[in-house]
Amino acid sequence: MPLACDAADPESLKAAYAAAKAVAGPIEALLFAAATWTPETEQAVALAPVRHVFEVNFFGCLAAIEAVTPDMMVAGRGRIAVISSVAGFRGLPRALAYGSSKAAMTHMAETLRLQLWRHGIIVQVVHPGFVRTPLTDKNDFPMPFLMEPDQAAARIVAGLQSDRFEITFPAGSRCC
């Protein structure tokens, strides 16, 4: 059941969840995959674009989690997975907003994993490398091990079928 919503608008996320819940009942799993990135220059630091990336990537994720966790806690089970990025592991040129937002998402997932397991909720974080998407189409630099979306999706699905916390690919990306 596709539902349109704006990841940067918490009320839009809550409304989408309410609409889904009205049709299907409380959801048992959330995969937050919304993200944005704006190419940055190396000459300037600007708050507005960083704030926008955080509104979508981090605060949007937190708002989606806020919408679903009460029902998951009542049910005593659930699964929350967030798509972070290997870009959150280390500082990268022209990735102040994106990398920082993804690092924040990973930290959030680590914290929620510790807080929500007592309620039967599994929390996972996905750290993909470069995947061909409209976001990576903006890149004007080499993207090692660039994956097609169906390959990345298969890795994500395989990881979500386990209870392991971290799903990172391609192999060796964690140590970059």
CA distances from 65 to 31, 71, 93, 141, 161 (A): 9, 11, 30, 33, 20
CB atoms within 10 A of CB 147: 20
Give the catalytic positions in this structure: 98, 102
Backbone angles phi and psi of 77, in degrees to 5: -165, 160
Measured between alpha carbons, how far is 123 from 160 in angstroms, rounded to an integer? 10
Element (H, E) at 7: none
DSSP of 68-83: HHHHHHHHT-EEEEEE
CB atoms within 10 A of CB 97: 23
Measured between alpha carbons, how far is 84 from 125 in angstroms, rounded to an integer? 6
Structure tokens at 66: 């806020």
